[in-house]
Amino acid sequence: MNDFMNSFSDWFDGAPLRITTIVAIALLIRFVGARAITKAMNRLISRSDKGKANRVGERARTIGALLRSALSGTTALIALATILDELGINLGPLLTSAGVVGVALGLGAQTFVRDLLAGLSMLLEDQYGVGDEVELLEVKGIVENVGLRITTIRAQDGVVWYLRNGEVLKVGNRSQ
Structure confidence by residue, pLDDT tens digits, 40-69: 988 887 776 555 556 677 777 778 888 888
**Are 26 and 92 part of one and the same domain?**
yes
User: Which residue range forms the structural domain that includes residue 133?
Assistant: 124-173
Distance separating the N- and C-terminal Cα atoms of the chain: 76
**pTM for the predicted model, two decimal places:** 0.59
- For 20, residues 6+ apart whose C-beta sits below 8 A from its C-beta are none
Output the CA torsion 163→65→122→131 (10° steps): 70
**Are 25 and 100 part of one and the same domain?**
yes
Q: Is 132 helix (H, G, I), strand (E, B) or coil?
A: coil
Task: Please check whether residue 148 lies inside any domain of the structure.
Answer: yes
Task: Please check whether residue 119 lies inside any domain of the structure.
Answer: no
Alpha carbons 167 and 137: distance in angstroms, whole number = 8
Given a cut of 70, the residues of the chain with pLDDT beneath it are 1, 4-6, 8-13, 48-55
Domain boundary pick from 84, 108, 132 = 108
What pLDDT score was predicted for residue 36? Answer: 95
